[in-house]
Structure 1
Amino acid sequence: MPTTATLGRPTDPPLTRQEREVLRAVGCGLTDTEIARTLALPENAVGVHLGRVLAKLDLRDRAAAIVHAFDSGLVVPGRGPRGTAPPVPRTAVRRPRGPRVRISVLGPLRAWRDGQPVDLGHLRQQAVLAALALCRERAVGKDELLDAVWGMEPPLTKVVPVYIYRLRKVLQAEHGAESVIRHDRCGYRLVPDAVEVDVARLEERVTAAGAAERAGEAAEAVRVLAQALELFRGEPLAGLPGPFAELERLRLTERRTALALRKLELQLRLGRHPEAVGELWALAAAQPLDEPVAALLMRALCHSGRQADALGVYERTRRRLADELGVPPSPLLRRAHRTILGGCDAGLAPGAP
Structure 2
Amino acid sequence: MPPSPPAVAALDPLDPRQRDVLYAIGCGLTDAEIAASLAIPERAVAGHLGRILATLRLRDRAAAIVHAFDCGLVTPGHGPRRRTADTPSRTRARRAADRTPGAGLRISLLGPPQAWQDGRPVDLGPARQQAVLAALALRPDRAVGTHELLDRIWGMEPPVGNVVPVYIYRLRKILRTGPGDGTAAVIEREQAGYRLNRGAVEVDVARAEELAATATTAERAGDLAEAVRVCSQALDLFYGEPLAGLPGRFAELERLRLTEHRITLAQRKAGWQLTLGRTAEATAELSALATAHPLNEQIVALLMRALHQGGRQAEALAVFDRTRHRLGEELGVLPGELLRRTRQTMLSRDRRS
TM-score between both structures, scaled by the size of structure 1: 0.68
Paired residues in the alignment total: 253
The residue aligned with 1:105 is 109
Structure 1 residue 345 displacement after superposition:
9.4
C-alpha distance in 1, partners of 2:182/2:113?
26
* Whole-angstrom CA distance in 2 between matches of 1:230 and 1:114: 21
**Percent identity over paired residues:** 62
2:134 & 2:209 partners in 1: Cα distance?
Answer: 17
1:159 is aligned to: 163
Q: Where does 1:77-226 land on structure 2 (aligned, <5 Å)? A: 100-172=104-176, 173=178, 174-175=180-181, 177-226=183-232
- Unpaired segments ≥5 residues, structure 1: 1-93, 347-353
SS of the equivalent of 1:112 reads strand
Preserved CA contact (<8 Å) 2:76 2:187: no
Matches within 5 A, 1:34-49: none
Contact 2:185–2:200 under 8 Å retained in 1: no
CA distance in 2: counterparts of 1:95 and 1:344, whole angstroms: 67
Q: 1:233 to 1:242 in 2, by over 3 A?
A: same
Alignment-derived partner of residue 241 in structure 1: 247
Residue pair 1:106, 1:198 contacting (<8 A) in 2 also:
yes
Larger radius of gyration, structure 1 or 2? 2
| 1:230 pairs with 2:242 | no
Q: Residues of 1 paired with 2:350 and 2:134: CA distance?
A: 46
Question: Structure 1, residues 322-346: CA drift from partner, whole Å, max 9, x if none?
Answer: 1112221111111112222222699
Pairing partner for 2:270 from 264, 273, 287: 264
Matched with 1:275 is 281
Change (3 A) 1:122 1:345: farther
Amino acid at match of 2:193: G
Q: TM-score, normalised by structure 2?
A: 0.68
Secondary structure of the corresponding residue to residue 294 of structure 2: coil
SS of residue in 1 equivalent to 2:268? helix
Distance 1:150 1:204 in 2: 31
Q: Does 1:252 align with 2:258?
A: yes
User: Separation in 2 of the partners of 1:186 and 1:145?
Assistant: 12
Query: Cα–Cα, structure 1 residues 339 and 181, in superposed 2: closer, same or farther, change >3 Å?
Result: same
- Displacement of 1:178: 4.3
Structure 2, unpaired ranges of 5+ = 1-74, 79-97
2:318 partner SS: helix
